[in-house]
Structures are given as C-alpha cells and as structure tokens.
Amino acid sequence: MRLVKISKIFLDNAATTRVDELVVEAMNKIYLNVYGNPSSVHIFGEDSRDVLVKSREIIAKAVGVDSNEIIFTSGGTESNNLALKGIMHANNSKGKHMITQKTEHPSILKVCSELENEGYEVTYLPVDKDGLINLEELKKAIRKDTVLVTIMHANNEIGTIFPIEDIAKICKEKKLIFHTDACQSFLKVKFNPENIDLITINSHKIHGPKGVGALIIKSGIKLQKQMHGGEQESNIRSGTENLPGICGFAKACSITKQSDVKRMTELRNYLIDLLLKIPNTKLNGSNEKRLCNNINISFKDVEGDMLLFRLSNQGLALSTGSACTARNNKPSHVLQAIGLNKNFIDGSLRISLSKYTTKEELDTAYDLIQKSVKLIRSLK
C-alpha cells in the first residue's frame, strides 16, 4: 500500500455529496437564462415550464413512474412529512393506525410521534441483528384500522437494504398504502416501483443540489396537502418551484452511471477487508443486503467522538451516526435497534463513499483510522 498525502478526504457521502460540475453548469444556465416563474403566462414562464416538464420527465424515467406522479418538494424530510401526515389525515374514516420500523430516519420517526400526539397509533417493528424486519411480524401487525405502512428502502446509518418489493406485495394484498423512503438507495439499488404507492427521493445524495427532492404519489392515491398557497404541483405542494434545483436534480439523475455502483461496491469491500484486520472490530448491518457505498464499523472500547475528532483534525471526514442526529450526542437508535453492545456502539463509524472516492483515499483513510484506534485504546 503506497500512501499519498491527501489534504482532505470526504467519506461522509451518506450525509450529502459533492455536486457534479455538469449539474452546476446546468443549474447556472437556469439561474441566468430561465428565471421566469413557471406559473407565469408570459414567454419567460413558458420557458421555465418547459424546463420543469423536461426535468419531471427525466426524474420520472429514472424512477420508472409517470411524470404526473412526481411532486417536487424541498427534499427528503418534506416528502416524508407530506407522505405520512398527508395519508393519515386523508384517511381518518378508514382508520388511525400505521406501521413502520425502528431504524427509520428521524424525518419518519419524528413525524410518527407527532401523529401519535394527534391521536394516531403507530406500530414500530423491531429489526434483527442485520437491521432487517421479519415479514411475518409485519403481517401480524396489520389491523383492521391500519392505513399505511412505511418502510425505508435502505438505512442511512448501516446501509441495510429492505425487501420493499415483497413488502409492497403484502400491502397490496391487504389493501394498505405503502410508502418507502428511498433517499439513500435512489439510483444505487434498482427496484420495481409497481406496487409502491409513495416514494421519497432527494437530490443531494446523488451529486445534485441540496434543498430539492420529490414525493412520488401514484395516481389514485389521495393525500391531504400540507402546504397551502398558490396551488403549484397539482395543488398538492404550493410554492414556486425551485427550478434551478429541479433542473440540477434531473441532470444528476441523467448522468448517474451503473458502473459507479460497481466501482463503489469494489472499493467498499476493499476498505471493509482492511478495517476488519484491526483487532476487536465489527461490521454493522447486513453483509449481502448492503448499500454499495456504506460501511458502518465498530471498534470495541474506543470513544467514537474522540476518534471522529482526531480523524477530522487530520482531514478525514466521517460520521458516527446520521449527520442529522450526529450533533445531539445520543447513542444511535439504529445501532441500539440491531442490539449492538454498548462497548461497540460507542466506537462506531459510518464511512460512506461516492463516485469520486479513490483507492488512494481509502488507503490513507485506513492508515489514519488504524493508527487512531491504536492510540485511543492505548490511553485507556
């Protein structure tokens, strides 16, 4: 292994990704030339509408749905809020129960607690040591008054991929609405959207801009809008569309290559093999059903925050949990849900790759991590 000096290494791509230059170029053109409001009737509005229509078509094609099923939002968080509140509020006459699982993103779990405060009931399915739910338990949790099931496609901390096509079939048979949060898996894991009623995606995990996403709402699915105003986005999500962002999102979709997934998988496996050479180390999540860019690893008896801090000072950007909750210093709800021992939870790192990640960066990252783990352990 030949180590090259790299000043800064970004291995926190599950939190967000670097925007592709081609995306920036496409967005700049919109900022400078296509600045009309897509709702305006004049020619500037018409040009903007053309871009909006084209972008919607590109994103719809990437997901495998009709373009009129795409509702643009400000990102994954908003899409998840709209999906859960929108469906539960619209279906009070059918029932007030929904099902999710314990390792969902906070933008699902916190909406669930809000709904509980409003009088709805939520079942949180447990997960096994790989982070997967048991489909028999899902079937058993279904009640007469169950309206919605929401299960993420891939977990943002441990990368576990859920069998959403099987879950969608169960929901279809039981006439339940099924939503999946696909922010982490979009364009990384192929899936058939046929039986899935609602899908959350966002742009900043695929080298697009931050602050833009979509909720796919299949035709025939009724939900209650959460944003009132100018009746944009089929009167489901009011507010002037973020055209440069949407155009950038579409560009990011159109330039994503399957070969990147293969390359990331190889690099991920390369780094996992190296890291597991460090004594008392454990890989969290599933070996096989794992996102191509995710490594979640625990070093026994190592203070994770100290490790992260040391690595950050040396130019290596990683995370201990999801970026959204990393600052609250609470132990990861995901690692707790998979039953990881506290000795291991404390010393866990999430390392997430992107299409820009190189083998040289991983060699340097490994060198820094193993030295820091050794040093921190020696201080005990």
- From the candidates 112, 183, 253, 324, give the one annotated as an active-site residue: 324
d(CA 2, CA 4): 7
Binding mask 187-206 for ligand PLP (x = CB under 6 A): ---------------x-x--
Q: Which is nearer to ligand PLP, 204 or 350 (CB)?
A: 204
Question: CA-based Rg of the chain, rounded to a whole angstrom?
Answer: 21
DSSP per position, 301-344: T--HHHHHHHHHHTTEE-BSS-HHHHTT-PPPHHHHHTT--HHH
d(CA 348, CA 283): 9
Residue list 305-344, contact with ligand PLP (CB under 6 A): 324
Q: Which residues on adjacent β-strands are paired with residue 298?
A: 282, 348
Q: Does 290 bind ligand PLP (CB under 6 A)?
A: no
Binding mask 67-86 for ligand PLP (x = CB under 6 A): --------xxx--x------
d(CA 136, CA 145): 18
Q: Which is nearer to ligand PLP, 36 or 245 (CB)?
A: 245
Q: Does 107 bind ligand PLP (CB under 6 A)?
A: yes
Residue list 123-152, contact with ligand PLP (CB under 6 A): 152
Instruction: Indicate which single residue of 213, 244, 248, 321 sits in contact with ligand PLP (rule: CB under 6 A).
Output: 213
d(CA 134, CA 137): 5
Angle at 253 between CA 288 and CA 236, to 5 degrees: 105
Amino acid at 108: I
Instruction: Indicate which single residue of 55, 103, 184, 281 sits in contact with ligand PLP (rule: CB under 6 A).
Output: 184
Nearest in space to 246 (alpha carbons), one of 286, 281, 202? 202
Q: Does 181 bind ligand PLP (CB under 6 A)?
A: yes
d(CA 167, CA 229): 35
Stretch binding ligand PLP (CB under 6 A), from 179-187, 255-263, 280-288, 338-346:
179-187
Instruction: Indicate which single residue of 65, 125, 132, 183 sits in contact with ligand PLP (rule: CB under 6 A).
Output: 183
Instruction: Indicate which single residue of 56, 85, 97, 105 sits in contact with ligand PLP (rule: CB under 6 A).
Output: 105
Stretch binding ligand PLP (CB under 6 A), from 5-13, 114-122, 176-184, 329-337:
176-184
Q: Does 13 bind ligand PLP (CB under 6 A)?
A: no
247 part of the active site: no
How many CA atoms within 13 Å lie on the side-chain side of 174? 21
- Kindly list the catalytic residues: 324
User: Which parts of this chain interact with ligand PLP (CB under 6 A)?
Assistant: 75-77, 80, 105, 107, 152, 156, 181, 183-184, 202, 204, 213, 324
